[in-house]
Amino acid sequence: MPPKVSIRKDEWEKRLREVKVTKEDLNRLVMDYLVIEGYKSAAEEFSQEASLTPPVDFESIESRMDIREALQRGDVEDAITRVNDLNPEILDTNPALYFRLQQQKLIEYIRHGRIVEALEFAQEELAPRGEENPEFLAELERTMALLAFDCTSNPPAAIADLLSSAQRLKTAGEVNAAILESLSQGKEVKLVGLLKLLCWGDALLEDKAEFPKLNVQEGRLVENGK
């Protein structure tokens, strides 16, 4: 294997300065972050200050945040209603997402000890879907296993996560991504994607050269791990 090429910090910084990034590109990255993360007011103000046309209707940002908040507090029915008000095709064309919402509704029944309603809901709404899809059936069985445990007890780790706040956040994230896709908007903040690309490029180059790396947290170059 040939020896690694060594690139000095000053030379590396010179190369970085030669990379041209326009202010418009930076503004679009900021706008993308504000839109996807749901900062409606900030996005409106930034759009005016930067004279930038927003990629989506600002009202859709507020609608997404209302839906996410409904799911985070466990009000699945309200979330479903709001999704359908925004765009009924989102759930009509995405059976997996609709099942996730129905599964979350079942979890909320169980969380609040509404066992009879949980059993009826599972039999009428989820069981038929489980018969059509093995993946749905496995998730239904995992959720129904919660009925064997009191909510104050400690269910096995394999199912305990269903009652965690992280499960609500996961469902909300899937719904948020589906809404963004319906608006032809990226699901992931572009800045996050760029950081992933940076890490991938660093790892690829590391095999062939010694060079200063960017400390993402501190925003500075680190030469040879120093």
pLDDT tens column, 19-31: 888 999 999 999 9
C-beta separation of 70 from 85 below 8 A: no
pLDDT in tens, 91-112: 999 999 999 999 999 999 999 9
Compute the average pLDDT of residues 117-141: 93
Task: Measure the CA dihedral 89/168/78/125, to 10°.
Answer: 70
Name the pairing type of β-strands 220-222 and 213-215.
Answer: antiparallel
113: left (phi over 0), alpha (psi -120 to 50) or beta: left
Question: At what angle are helices 190-206 and 23-37 packed, to 10 degrees?
Answer: 120
Question: Which span out of 22-26, 79-83, 142-146, 189-193 was modeled with the highest average pLDDT?
Answer: 79-83
Question: To 10 degrees, the CA torsion angle through 51, 55, 59, 63?
Answer: -140
| pLDDT attached to residue 189 | 86
Predicted model pTM:
0.75
End-to-end CA distance of the chain: 26
Q: Rg (Cα) of the chain, in Å, rounded?
A: 24
| 87 has pLDDT over 60 | yes
| Dihedral sign from CA coordinates of 175, 181, 185, 190 | positive
Q: 203: pLDDT confidence band, cut at 50, 70 and 90?
A: confident
* Candidate ranges 95-99, 131-135, 211-215; pick with highest mean pLDDT: 95-99
Residue 4 reports pLDDT greater than 60: yes
What is the per-residue pLDDT across 192-202, written as a single tens digit (0 to 9) for each? Answer: 888 888 888 88
pLDDT per position as a tens digit, 22-71: 999 999 999 999 988 889 999 999 999 999 988 888 888 999 999 999 99
Domain ranges of the chain: 56-184
Mean pLDDT of the chain, nearest integer = 87
Q: What is the pLDDT of residues 145-189, one digit of tens each?
A: 998 876 556 778 879 899 999 999 999 999 999 999 988 777 788
Q: What is the mean pLDDT of residues 118-139?
A: 93
